[in-house]
């Protein structure tokens, strides 16, 4: 089981959970701003362009704030690319970069993707769409597999054995890379600087002088560079080194780092029972509202969790899936129907992955300003969201 990366409740320690309907994501605008300020400082000191990874955090209601600090977005396909352009997350009029990567592209979508994207990254030298993108004047990039496995878990390790993500660097010839303007790799997941440094040294060793032919190098995401213990000086020094040595523009794609510790998922106890252990049954669901709890798996941090609490409860979701459980947590008093709970660090890889399995309602989305205490419910979902996904 992967460890939680939560840095604690922060300002949410002062938030009254009863202020919002449940289930509900609550995102702190000031924490997002604080993370963005860290990222902007990295960009300014290193000369790198930092792009929001929409696959992790796609909250377009914060587009004005995000555009103030970041250099654009990276998308995983047509729909994310459209969202970035249409919702102001990567406005062409403001010279914001939109970089798109997908392992493969549909023939019916490639022309529109080309029209939206500044960079279009392909999974291997013979990928469909390279010719169309080049003819459309898009800067084309090649994703490589650095073939150095540094991830915590094979499910999240792009360099794992038989990975389909990126072309193996050991297979790459001079002729194969000659038609590409940029190089892309994404090798990390929730990691500090050292794994990135090791990845780059491997890429540099394997490609050598061939790196001189590129206009840009995109080092992907997975960098926890807004975490307090992250070696930001090491990251900045590496970006400067690469840029100067190979005369390239460098890019990073932080997604999770933008929203790290910026959101909570608030739920309510619907019932309690004892079945060998005490259970609290919630109106939030790991399966539907935080699927990485099961997919990773990991035990998310809970606000107020007591390691040595007198009362221990398994917190279970509201679907029929046996595995729909967040884990066991400690409390200083017995839970009862109507009590509120809040899981920490739930702004990233949650809203983008929600589903209505079992007819479980989607959580509302609220914006809270921890500085002014202003709160607004910006989105509520009804039965129509469930109905419209079915036929």
Q: State the pLDDT at residue 41.
A: 98
Q: State the pLDDT at residue 153.
A: 81
Number of H helices, E strands in the chain: 12, 18
Examine the pLDDT at 6 and tell me if it is beyond 90. Answer: no
Instruction: Locate all alpha helices (DSSP H) within 94-159, ordered by sequence.
Output: 110-116, 130-135
What the chain holds in terms of domains, given with CATH numbers, is 10-26+262-387 (2.40.37.10), 47-258 (3.20.20.10)
Confidence of residue 5 (pLDDT cuts 50, 70, 90): confident
Enumerate the β-bridge partners of residue 271. 281
Q: State the pLDDT at residue 224.
A: 96
The pLDDT tens digits for 273-306 are 999 999 999 999 999 999 999 998 999 999 999 9
* Beta strand pairing call for 119-122 and 325-331: unpaired
DSSP structure string for 26-40 = EEEHHHHHHHHHHHH
Return all residues near 280 (Cβ < 8 A) that are at least 6 apart: 269, 271, 272, 313, 314, 315, 316, 335, 339, 341
Name the nearest CA neighbour of 48 among 238, 197, 186.
Answer: 238
Name the nearest CA neighbour of 74 among 41, 93, 100.
Answer: 100
Return all residues near 25 (Cβ < 8 A) that are at least 6 apart: 263, 264, 265, 266, 346, 347, 350, 351, 363, 364, 365, 366
How far are the Cα atoms of 116, 211, 277 from residue 315, in angstroms, in the given order?
44, 51, 11
The pLDDT tens digits for 41-100 are 999 999 999 999 999 999 999 999 999 999 999 999 999 999 999 999 999 888 999 999
The whole-model pTM stands at 0.96
Examine the pLDDT at 334 and tell me if it is beyond 80. Answer: yes
SS3 state at 331: strand
Distance (Å, whole) CA 80 – CA 87: 10
Q: Alpha carbon 31 to chain centroid distance?
A: 16
How far are the Cα atoms of 109, 277, 337, 341, 390 from residue 325, in angstroms, in the given order?
39, 13, 18, 14, 26
Q: Is 220:185 a contact under the CB 8 Å cutoff?
A: yes
């Amino acid at each position: 089981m992967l460890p939680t990366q939560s840095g604690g409740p922060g300002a949410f320690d002062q938030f009254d959970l009863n202020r919002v309907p449940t289930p509900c994501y609550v995102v702190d605008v000031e924490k997002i701003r604080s993370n963005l300020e860290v990222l902007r400082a990295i960009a300014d000191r290193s000369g790198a362009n930092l792009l929001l990874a929409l696959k992790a955090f796609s909250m377009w209601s914060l587009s004005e704030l995000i555009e103030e600090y970041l250099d654009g977005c990276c998308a995983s396909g047509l729909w994310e690319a459209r969202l970035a352009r249409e919702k102001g997350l990567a406005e062409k009029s403001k010279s914001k970069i939109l970089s798109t990567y997908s392992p493969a592209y549909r023939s019916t979508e490639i022309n529109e993707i080309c029209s939206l994207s500044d960079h279009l990254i392909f999974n291997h030298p013979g990928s469909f769409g390279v010719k169309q993108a080049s003819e459309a004047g898009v800067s084309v990039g090649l994703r490589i597999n650095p073939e150095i496995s540094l991830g915590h878990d094979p499910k999240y390790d792009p360099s794992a054995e038989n990975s389909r993500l990126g072309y193996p660097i050991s297979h790459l010839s001079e002729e194969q890379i000659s038609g590409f303007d940029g190089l892309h790799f994404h090798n990390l997941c929730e990691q500090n600087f050292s794994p990135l440094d090791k990845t780059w040294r491997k890429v540099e060793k394997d490609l050598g002088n061939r790196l001189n032919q590129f206009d840009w190098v995109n080092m992907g995401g997975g960098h926890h560079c807004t975490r307090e213990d992250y070696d930001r000086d090491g990251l900045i020094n590496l970006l400067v080194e690469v840029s100067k040595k190979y005369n390239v523009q460098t890019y990073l794609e932080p997604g999770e780092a933008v929203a790290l510790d910026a959101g909570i998922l608030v739920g309510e106890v619907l019932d309690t029972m004892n079945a060998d252990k005490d259970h609290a049954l919630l109106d939030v669901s790991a399966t539907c509202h935080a699927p990485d709890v099961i997919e990773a798996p990991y035990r998310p941090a809970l606000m107020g969790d007591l390691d040595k609490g007198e009362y221990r409860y398994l917190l279970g979701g509201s679907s029929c899936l046996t595995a729909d459980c967040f884990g066991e947590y400690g409390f200083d008093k017995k839970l009862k129907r109507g009590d509120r709970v809040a899981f920490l660090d739930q702004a990233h890889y949650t809203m983008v992955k929600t589903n209505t399995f079992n007819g479980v309602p989607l959580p509302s989305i609220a914006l809270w300003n921890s500085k002014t205490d202003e709160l607004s419910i910006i989105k509520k979902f009804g039965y129509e969201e469930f109905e419209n996904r079915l036929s």
